[in-house]
Amino acid sequence: MDFGLAGCAALVAAGSRGLGRASARALAREGASVALFSRTTAAAEKAAQEIATETHARTLGFAGDTTKAPDLERAVTETIRTFGRLDVLVTNAGGPSPGTFATVTDADWQRAFELNLMSAVRLIRAALPHLEKSGRGRVILLSSTTVKQPIDGLILSNAVRIGVAGLAKSLANELAKRKITVNQVLPGRIDTDRVRELDEARAKSTGTSADAVRRQNEQQIPLGRYGDPDEFGAVVAFLASTQAAYLTGATIQVDGGATKAVY
């Protein structure tokens, strides 16, 4: 199936590793030119070069902090300067620190707000004129299944990402008339550094091993395993495709069936 992304340009936030990198790679495989950024120049450039070598797509990697508004504006500017257009925006950021209500501070709350909600707000705002000019703009927000089913020990993610969900649904309504679709993708237990770090934190707090935590988690997943990042990236690529032109305002979990919510 041809996703119709040849000749398009995409910008992926936090794209040097994990789900951001998987999304960037999937878009590049479908023929899109892909810009990605992360906190260090070396990591971003390395990821971009590796994706280019694998896919033969045009890529661009540069440094940018998702919590800094000037960096987000520059990310859009650099993408336009290099590729001359922007058709697909993938918002993404690392998850906030684990913790409970009793252990997180006001500073933790503020950082989570800036990291996960305001980063998306600012990046979309900067990209919006170019996505509208595209005539087939796509906004894809990477979030978490905590939107549908809170996870113990992740109160910051549970609370702040609900705001991302509200933003996505509101924008889907507001931007439809500009021919821009807006959808969310919610990862469950995808085998990334972030998930392994959470497993290790859980193991430390319960006095067990990360392997034991993983086995316990896998028992709660109907498909019985953690997901592969490429399986997640494939969903992002589809949402960016011409085939997904009538799909907006959707919240799609990629979790092996683990989320128990019915919608």
7-30 tens-digit pLDDT: 999 999 999 999 999 999 999 999
Is 135 in the same domain as 16?
yes
In a domain, 170, yes or no: yes
Is 65 in the same domain as 85?
yes
Q: Which domain holds residue 198?
A: 190-226
Is 222 in the same domain as 119?
no
For the chain, give the mean pLDDT.
96
| Counted domains in the chain | 2
Lowest mean pLDDT segment, chosen from 82-86, 95-99, 118-122, 249-253? 95-99
pLDDT at position 99, please?
92
pLDDT at position 205, please?
85
- Give the predicted TM-score (pTM) of the model: 0.95
Going by their DSSP bridges, the two strands 9-12 and 59-63 should be labelled as unpaired
Mean pLDDT over residues 221-232, rounded? 97
Q: Which of 192, 216, 194 is nearest to 203 (CA)?
A: 216
pLDDT band of residue 146 (cuts 50, 70, 90) is very high
pLDDT at position 214, please?
95
HSE at residue 181, side-chain half, CA atoms within 13 A, is 21
In a domain, 3, yes or no: no
Host H or E run for residue 173: helix 155-175
Is 97 in the same domain as 18?
yes
pLDDT band of residue 262 (cuts 50, 70, 90) is confident
In a domain, 257, yes or no: no
Is 57 in the same domain as 139?
yes
How many Å is the Cα radius of gyration of the chain? 18
Is 26 in the same domain as 94?
yes
